Amino acid sequence: MVAYVIGGDRWSGQHIAVAPRRTVDDAATILQNRRMHVRLSELENEVFDLKQLAYRGGVVLPVDSLAPHALKVTKTIQVHVRFEDDCYLACFIDANVNESGESEVEAIEFMKDRIASMFEFYTENEADLGKEPQRQLCVLREFIERR
């Protein structure tokens, strides 16, 4: 058995405890595990804080495709996504188009479908559009076109 001096004065024999090597190794492992647990807790707190920030302020996600629709994105559409009232809201602010979903991905997919549907409907019925739909179509034409 290998013994280690834990505390006290090695030469006088006072306050000396002898521990087998395994106990020291176990103590080192416990200390390392505690450090890892503390670091994991810190990381969990950071992720939580980032999620809260994203939910409050939202994130901006680029949309470069409206597949499977037969439309081509000519200029990246910036969609703002935030968490609000138990759902994700996706907003294309320039064109005043909004959608919601149970996840960020679902909200974006619904937004892409809405943009494509609006573009198709507005271009087919352009003569009958009111002021706001005309403005929306004008904005949509800056970002998308037919293939």
124 has a pLDDT exceeding 80: yes
58 has a pLDDT exceeding 70: yes
Report how far residue 141's alpha carbon sits from residue 115's, in angstroms, rounded to the nearest whole number: 11
Q: What is the pTM of this model?
A: 0.62
Q: Closest Cα to residue 141, out of 128, 122, 114, 125?
A: 122
Q: What confidence tens digit (pLDDT) does each residue in 65-112 have?
A: 999 999 999 999 999 998 888 899 999 999 999 999 999 999 999 999
Q: Output the pLDDT for position 39.
A: 78
20 has a pLDDT exceeding 90: no
91 contacts 98 by C-beta, under 8 angstroms: yes
